[in-house]
Chains A and B, each alone.
Chain A
């Protein structure tokens, strides 16, 4: 059984549908990329997957032993107020919160997990730094390490590379690809279709046309061809590649 199965899913806010009739599956070990224009409902979809909002219609089924609270989620915008005092260590450790239940303190094993994930993201040297004083790329690594603490199975990343420079973007993609190779299932929203096609094995395209299938199917499909063409005309996207 697939980790996530969406059946005729419609997502939106307060009864207002943003994207509808979505059907897709995420299997263990997959790397799914969600693409689509601005405002097509990509973020709304992943918020539905991590149960931040309820589906408008249809359903999301979790299978293969995946629990809804075992997904590591990286939001598109993490609005951290100016001056919030929080060290990298504190933030990464907070990724273990779902493991605690009502237990008040983190265990040694959880602290070790946080330390390991910081090591994996090469941010160990930043452990005691204030989150607000890090660069955008460093902040994303911190949030990724936090998401890793929350899961051993699946990461859902909402535009993890937005606002990062090309070099850091490439590093980020490599990091995520590495995690996928270790067996973590990846669902990533991306605007950068070239990299999506390079790294992902499945594509979900939402918007005017809806497509779900493997990468090679997508490249053959009409939706894929049009989207690829549009993006390569966009000078801004061109620069990123």
Chain B
């Protein structure tokens, strides 16, 4: 009896705390941006995982880190201006290298990504005028508290990019499926597989730049891969997997942000931790369903 009373008042306290938080616009921005980014990053997850593009995602996030540090050093007011094109360019280059059978694709990507990481840190270290260097580096790698200091303009940019990603995904959903499932057949009936691979790479680049704000460059892959892997445990058709990935990702990001605010933990890693727990649950459900 007393225990349940305690629970209720505890819950009430939490709700009070939350509604207090949500009175602040920056908290609402944070949740909005988090949910939008989570939605986008989950959409291409299945394609990325199955096309063995996950390594490109990883490599790209490091490249984005490198470009970001250049932007930081240049003291640009809006670093999107160079981070977005820079990352898209890298995506196209990585894709071309990955397809080139003569060069070992994985090794080339590892080289580029580690190189970008080292180069980025070097630049930041050497030229940064910031007083809190390690703080800057840490927040670029693991996502920052900057998500709590988003301006309305950043939210709008994020919303526009997310909208574009979702629209492109929906419009090309059938093509993406065809090219992901069986590229050989797709080519044989005249589908421009190269063009769609390029489209996928560009969209991945946009997603990575977006997600960098939320979870930082080291944790992006988690945001892309966990929803896809989790829903593949339970669902067996492309459509259901895609839809569930999106729901999974949005719910986890929402919960992660709420938990991080209540517990005072870093946003990015809390979201990823939530993803991991949910992945565990999905695996369990998958096993119980008698899948694998």
Contacts and interface: CB of A to CB of B under 8 A. Distances in A.
- Do A and B originate from a single complex? yes
Interface of A: 50-52, 68-69, 71-73, 75, 78, 80-81, 83-87, 89-91, 93-95, 97-98, 100, 104-106, 128-130, 132-133, 146, 150
Given A81-B50, A85-B232, A91-B181, A105 B174 contact: yes
B22 interface: no
B186 interface: yes
Interface stretch (B3-11, B109-117, B200-208, B236-244): B236-244
Contact of A52 (B173, B187, B235, B241): B187
A166 to B, nearest CB: 27
Contacts of B184: 52, 75, 78
Nearest to B187: A52
B189 A78 contact: no
B78 interface: no
B178 A97 contact: yes
B190 interface: yes
Contacts of A69: 188-190
What are the 10 closest A-B residue pairs judged by CB atoms, nearest first?
A: A69-B190, A130-B236, A98-B189, A87-B237, A73-B188, A50-B188, A85-B241, A104-B171, A94-B178, A97-B178
B185 interface: yes
Given A94-B178, A97-B175, A78 B238 contact: no
B174 A94 contact: yes
A69 B186 CA distance: 10
Contact of A85 (B178, B190, B235): B235
Majority SS at the chain B contact face: helix
9 contacts: A52-B184, A69-B190, A78-B182, A85-B236, A86-B238, A94-B177, A97-B189, A104-B170, A146-B185
Interface majority SS (helix, strand, loop, mixed), chain A:
mixed
A196 B170 CA distance: 45
B35 to A, nearest CB: 24
A133 B236 contact: yes
Given A85-B232, A87-B237, A98 B170 contact: no
A105 B187 CA distance: 19
Interface in B229-276: 232, 235-241
B182 A73 contact: no
Given A75-B184, A106-B174, A90 B189 contact: no
Contacts of A85: 46, 232, 235-238, 240-241
Contacts of A86: 177, 181, 237-238
B191 interface: yes
A72 B185 CA distance: 9
Contacts of A146: 185
Contacts of B236: 85, 87, 129-130, 132-133
A73 B186 CA distance: 10
Among B185, B186, B191, B239, max chain A CB count under 10 A is at B185
A90 B186 contact: no
B46 to A, nearest CB: 7
A6 to B, nearest CB: 17
Given A98-B189, A100-B174, 5 more contacts: A51-B190, A71-B189, A91-B181, A94-B177, A150-B189
A129 B235 CA distance: 11
